[in-house]
Structure 1
Amino acid sequence: MSRAELTRPAAGRVGLSTFHLGEVIVGEMAAPAQRLERTEQMIARQGLDHVLMQFHESGTSRVETARHRASVAAGQVVLFDLAQPVVVEADPVSATTLLMPRALVTDGVGPIEPLHGRAFAYEADPVKQLLHTYLRGLIACGTQLAPHQLSGVSQAASKLCGAGFRPEAGAADPVEFGTHVAIRQFIQRELHSADLGVETLTARFGLSRATLYRLFAAEGGVVHYIRDRRLMQALRLLTEAGSHRRVSQVAYATGFADEKTFSRAFRRRFGMLPREARAAAPAAPPPSGDAAVLHGWIRSLAA
């Protein structure tokens, strides 16, 4: 396990100690009162497509997304979809954090979009409490874990997330949940295909249009989901360090018929053109220090 400390806790500063476990990043954070806003433009500049969980241990914060508002207190965990905008107004807080690739979360939990910015009481739920205890145990281990152990450790965190945040019994049919996961995995593999769409999915999975639409209702519909996944993949290709792909190449690589359609959709989603997002992205991580290490870790996690 590798470790980085962005700062040490001090008055008026954020203290953040993080540990890289191969497929996930675990950390502990202490921060003063502050207001944080994650905009579409910031999402476009950073190119991150991950899920962040914060287990509040002290302090309160207020979270506002496009869907709802929530108040997060000690003993609660809040989920953030880093591909969606959010505003957070926080009092002084301390928290344990878990950063995971989207696929590692959604394959066990289901759609993450409707969970963005929502708070859950982890002290009142045995599995969520177990996940929090597990993360604290990982942090206590420090750098003692061997490299060959990291995959199992990160998979255990993923499994606990699936057990703790999957819809309650009766809210989702297990067969439909498995089908939903399989369809999302297929979509991710086929983002490059211009033929990917409703007809392809209904034929491959033997579903009616009505069933397919219902499965993706929480994500804004299957057409919206495919378009958003294509745009997030395009964003990743545009902003990765050392990328020299032309905008047209990225458009075709993510299933768009032409550069004009792609650029128009990209601007609607992120508030800037593809070439502007590429120009705004850092050409490489900061040259040195723990911030550079953490930046490299996050970018290395498969989105």
Structure 2
Amino acid sequence: MFVLEAETADDWESVVSRCFVPLRCAGFEKTFTGRMEHTPLDERISISRVTTGGTSAERTERLARGSGSDDVHISLQRSSRGIVAGDGSATSVAPGAVSIYATDRPYYLDYSWPEQEQLIVQVSRESLGLPERMLEDTMNRLAVPGGIRDVAARGLFSYVADPPITASPLESADVARDLAYVMIRSSFREGTVAPRTSGGLRHMAQQFLREHATTPGIDMADVAQHHFVSRRRLYQAFEKAGTTPAAYLRAERVRRATRLLEDPENTLSIERIAQASGFEDVTTFTRAFRRAHGQTPRDWRAAAKATQGVR
């Protein structure tokens, strides 16, 4: 990753053009600032976290005609609001909105509102392996339905925001590209689309398990079916990370329980904490907690209270 900062719209134009494609930029604040955290994963995909004061960016027809790139931008609006326009249409974006547009066509980004922040995936269309017609229709709509509320969009942006530290750049590139593929296919209401990589499948399954951790009795065969893979394929994806889906779910439940036990304002009983964390009974909870922390939940809570009392 490299970090670039700018204090004028002219400087920001150079930063954006260097990291993405040549653009014309303008600033709307007297004390304009811009910051770009740019991470190329391989030659065909990169991740950028962009924060700016009010600004606009335009990819003119002349600049687009000279493009030697087939990249698309998939952008998550994290704060403030704006307008994305291209091909004669426009869409408003607000926190949580996801937009997608091509760099070899003219477009205009109106981010004149202050305190802008976007997370952007720039990826080669050819490398996605999607039907061209599907990509065309997606880009013509500009906005991904549901934005970050969409499970597949959440999967892509949660991954690129915090890739596993154990993954190599090439592995992260393959998984991010895979999750972009899944998101675009899902936006066509094809239902749940199975990731093609083990890392992508594992990430989506982990997201599912986190979001359903408090549901008792989760069956791994059902988790596999939800992702349109066999139980064996699901376990193989987790084996590559040295764990199992059941172990990941158990650890997530223990993490939730640990936060509750350490919360000085929480007055739930151990039994209620077990239920609130997704465990079916207090015996199973105590066994899992002791295996993870070497102490019972009751002893852990007492130690946390004693430490908080000292503070």
- TM, length-normalised to structure 2: 0.47
Higher relative contact order structure (alpha carbons within 8 Å, sequence separation ≥ 6):
1
User: Which one has a bigger Cα radius of gyration?
Assistant: 2
- TM, length-normalised to structure 1: 0.48
